[in-house]
Structure 1
């Protein structure tokens, strides 16, 4: 009896289904499924380390700086310059998949000649992000030679004991220009007045990170130039932002985008000899279990799922324990010893 032969029919997914499968696989590669670290477990881990003296580890600093230099070259690519972003060069937005831009004469004229020595390597730096109220760290922050701040924070007298008043560089996301200052389409006075507190500082903007952020960022540049303001606008290089994002993704940070704070810490570690960070505590309670606001001036939380703040904290905490940077988590002064404002 002859054996029966049966040939299985070849099946093929519809084109739409195939495309969907490819999209899902790519999405899982870029944003893999993961479980966020438990906030209570992180706080307990930090508490176990309290009381141990922090020591700078020059070997660890050198090794980590070499990693940053090899992947991202912050010394040359931190800001857009005429050297790293020549005329007619085509650059892709780091936060967009479909859009690029060509550097024309008008845009090229806004860049400084070179980025070297914008932030001298020999400096010690303080980097301030969200910070607990009544930390009493103002004097320590201002003692650094170069102070960086995130997202145009208020520096009025009521906050000076906690956050200081000195600033050499402050970031400004285009979304802040839109929400606080109506994209500078109406009155520009409120914006000009608000940045006077930063004195002769750089205002660092990701103008070419997202297409929607380009016009507001350029408007900031021209606004300050028109009034002869003492601040200087620097534009973040999208290649640097993209490479830094890949660098931290390789270390296990799962996020659609890094926070401004981590971008700035990365730059500081590549540009400054000593780095101390203040206020990088993205949790709802302090080390004593007391509620604290997200920022010292408000409690506006980041978009859910956009940043991975606990994971960023764990990476920075590891660098603290390794002696690469110093993370100030406790109060610098006893609030009871501070005179009333």
Structure 2
């Protein structure tokens, strides 16, 4: 009899536990949905973890009306974003009219502050000594991410020594891709620089007057291979990509993402292609950064720039500022209008893609207005020169 009673007690306890777990699962799912509506990159567990690490006390609100909650959150975010965007846009004319002078002390101070967070050589590139095909290694994404297998052929494509390890440049240009470059006439100014960095393998053909032709380093987001070259699936795609690489001149092809699961296959396709065509592509030096993104993110978080991933432009600003005495930025402007005139998101894109791209840039991955606000601050301090005006008259 006692055994039967114990059995009933255990059964009742198990039933209650199942009910509690079912309720908790439903509750967590609801909170997860709302947290993602606040920040699409964050879920319940990741949000709790990140906020707890920052020492923030978490208080989960009681949700009574899902629809009203989501609308309130979206309205609050839209209002905050609109206020920031309006504030930064209002400062644009002040940037243009500001009597800029280079401030070497400010530039050195910013450089030393960055170096306190990460190792410059690890940011620039891995060398062939850092990898062995088939071995497991962790690259770039985060200290907590899974390790990945080094693709075959990568060892032979990497430089044997650190790039630019002994180089210092007096005047450098970092060229972004904003539509503000159109009709700027800044191409000649850019080409007169000692060192030129460009972003995301942007075409220069047809835009030489505005963006120039000189290039020493160009970044290459793996999505470019998929979006612009059909993942090299056909002979026509491969020939086009090869011709574009040759047409860029002698340069370093700097790939800022390696181990993200979404791009691993694309990276392997790129490495395989460069390996098979290395005799025809002697003008191209492939480069990957080391595992430094966590340290870089910590630096930008200290500057109140908290985003899922910093933009390629901001990443290249860091590298350029560490190599250059005087740094000039062109094409860094995140808004769809400039002086009451509509401009495309990228200078080489058609105007009808503006709305789609700006929404992506603001909300899903990068916080471009925040980045731009910080760059305007550096401009006024004389640490960098942010070019928004035309260059034709100079």
Superposed pair shares fold, TM > 0.5:
yes
Residue 292 (structure 1) aligned to one of 343, 346, 366 = 343
1:125 aligns with 2:125: no
Query: In the alignment, which residue of structure 1 is the partner of 2:374?
Result: 315
- Output the CA distance in 2 between the equivalents of 1:30 and 1:331: 46
1:56 aligns with 2:79: no
Higher helix share: 2
- Rg (Cα) greater in structure: 2
Query: In the alignment, which residue of structure 2 is the partner of 1:7?
Result: none
Structure 1 stretch displaced more, 252-261 or 34-43 = 34-43
- Output the CA distance in 1 between the equivalents of 2:296 and 2:247: 30
Query: In the alignment, which residue of structure 1 is the partner of 2:8?
Result: none
- Output the CA distance in 2 between the equivalents of 1:325 and 1:259: 18
Residue 175 (structure 1) aligned to one of 220, 223, 226 = 223
2:328 partner SS: strand
1:26 aligns with 2:75: no
Structure 2 gap segments, 5+ residues each? 1-16, 33-43, 57-72
TM-score after normalising by structure 1: 0.83
Q: CA deviation at 1:239?
A: 1.6
- The 3 A distance-change label for structure 1 pair 123 and 76 is farther
Q: Deviations over 1:243-276 (max 9, x none)?
A: 2222112211121111111111111111222211
Q: Deviations over 1:214-236 (max 9, x none)?
A: 33234334424433213324333
Within-5 A mapping of 1:180-199:
180-187=228-235, 188-199=238-249
- The 3 A distance-change label for structure 1 pair 123 and 113 is farther
Within-5 A mapping of 1:129-278:
129-131=176-178, 132=180, 133-156=182-205, 158-187=206-235, 188-227=238-277, 228-278=280-330
Structure 1 stretch displaced more, 15-24 or 238-247 = 15-24
Checking the alignment, whether the CA contact within 8 Å between 2:159 and 2:287 is kept in structure 1 is no
1:267 partner SS: helix
Query: In the alignment, which residue of structure 2 is the partner of 1:8?
Result: none
- Output the CA distance in 2 between the equivalents of 1:119 and 1:209: 28
- Output the CA distance in 1 between the equivalents of 2:314 and 2:390: 22
TM-score after normalising by structure 2: 0.73
Q: How many residues of Structure 1 are paired with residues of Structure 2 in the alignment?
A: 322
Provide the alpha-carbon RMSD of the alignment. Answer: 3.1
Query: In the alignment, which residue of structure 2 is the partner of 1:80?
Result: 126
Checking the alignment, whether the CA contact within 8 Å between 2:255 and 2:287 is kept in structure 1 is yes
Structure 1 stretch displaced more, 134-143 or 221-230 = 221-230
1:50 partner SS: helix
- Output the CA distance in 2 between the equivalents of 1:24 and 1:71: 24
Query: In the alignment, which residue of structure 2 is the partner of 1:305?
Result: 364
